[in-house]
Structure 1
Amino acid sequence: MRGALLGYRRNAAGALVRESERVIAEVRSPVAMVFQQFNLWPHMTVLANVMAPLTLAKGLREDQARSVAGEALERVGMSAKADARPPQLSGGQQQRVGIARALAVGPEVMLLDEPTSALDPELVDEVLEVIKSLSRGGMTMIMVTHEMSFAAEVSDRIVFMEKSRIVTIGTPREVIHQPEHPRIRAFLQPWIRRSLGNAAAGAAA
C-alpha cells in the first residue's frame, strides 16, 4: 500500500526477498477481507461474529467491541439481526454481516472476493447496494467480480485479468464501454447481447 511492496522487500542486490511474518502482519493490518463463502461462525450470533476480530485481533474490551460492531451492523442494515445466528439468515444477509465484520476493524482498504457469487440472483442487489453505499462514502475497495454492469457503474479503475496475467487496466469507459483489446471485446460480447436484449425488452414493455 502507498507504493510499498506487499510481503517482499528488495535486498542490496535488488532481488526480492520475503519479509518477516511480523512485517507482513503489519502491512496486512489496514486491510480487511470479505469472503466469497461468508466464513461466519455458525454457533455464534451475528453480533459476536462482528465483535470477534475486534477482541481477538485488535484487543478491544468487550464493551468497546460491542459498540463498534453495533455501528458496523447499522451501516449494512443488519442491526435488527444482531442476536440471530448465521444459519437463520439468507445468503444476502450473511454476506452483509461479512461486510460489517470487515468494516468494524476500520480498514483503509477492503478486499472483496466475488461477494455475490454464492447468492441467489434475487439476493444479489441487496449486497451490491451496500457496496455502492460504501463506495459513495469513500471506502477504497478492490473487488474480484463478474458483475460487469456493477463494475462499470461503481469502479474508478478496472483490471482485466486472464490466466493470472493482466490484460489491460483502464477506466470503465476504456475497458468495458469502449474496449480496444480483442480479448476483452470477445469476453464482453455475451454481456453486451444480454444488455441489448434487456433494453429492447424494456422498450417493448
Structure 2
Amino acid sequence: MSPTPVLAEVLPTLADMYDRDQLPDPEDKPCFLPDPHLIQRVCIWQGDITRLKADMIVNAANRSLLGGGGVDGAIHSAAGPDLLKECEGLGGAETGETKVTKGYDLPAKYVAHTVGPIYSKLNVERSAEQLESCYRTSLEACVAKGGETIGFSSISTGVYGYPIIEATQISLRTTRLFLQENKSITRVIFVVFSEKDKKVYEGLVPEYFPEP
C-alpha cells in the first residue's frame, strides 16, 4: 500500500508558525519588509517529498536527469519506470537548468528536475548564481504549467557539498523576490529531511519573511 499523500494546502504556513511562536526572532536585521500575505504562501515541512501532493515537486537531479542517489533516487523509485523513460528523451540538462516531466505514480502532477551546482570555494559567486537559477527556473516552470503549489528539496546540499546556511539563504531570497512579483503561486513548501536542516530554515526564514 502506498503511503498516504500529504496535501500541500493543509500544511502549516509561516503565518501559522508565527501565531504559535514556533519561529525565532531574526538574528540579523530582516532583509525584507514584513508582508502578511507572503507568509501565508510559504511552508517549512519536515517529511518525505515523494508523499507531497502538490502541482509540482522539485528534484535535485544530476546532469543526465536519469536518476541517482538521495532525493533523486527516491523520486525516481516512487514515480515508477515511466519517469525514467520520459527523462531519457530530455537530453540531460545544464547546471542551473530545469526540465519538467509528469509525476506518474507520485502524488505530485509534475516533477521539475533541476541541476544544482557542485559547490566550489574557488568560484563561490558562480555557484550562487547557478543555485539561484535552480530555484527561479523551477518556480517559473510551475507557473508555466498552470501550477499553484510547489515543493522544493534542498538543492545541492547533499553530496554536491553546498553549505546548508548559504544554500538556504539563496532559496529564501530567490523565493521571496519571485513571490513578490508573481501572485499565481499560492504555496511554496521547503521540504527538509533532517531536524538539523529544519532548524536552519526556521532560523533564517524570519530574515526573509519577517513577522508583521
Is TM-score (shorter-chain normalized) higher than 0.5?
Answer: no
**Structure-2-length-normalised TM-score:** 0.34
Query: Which structure: larger Rg?
Result: 1
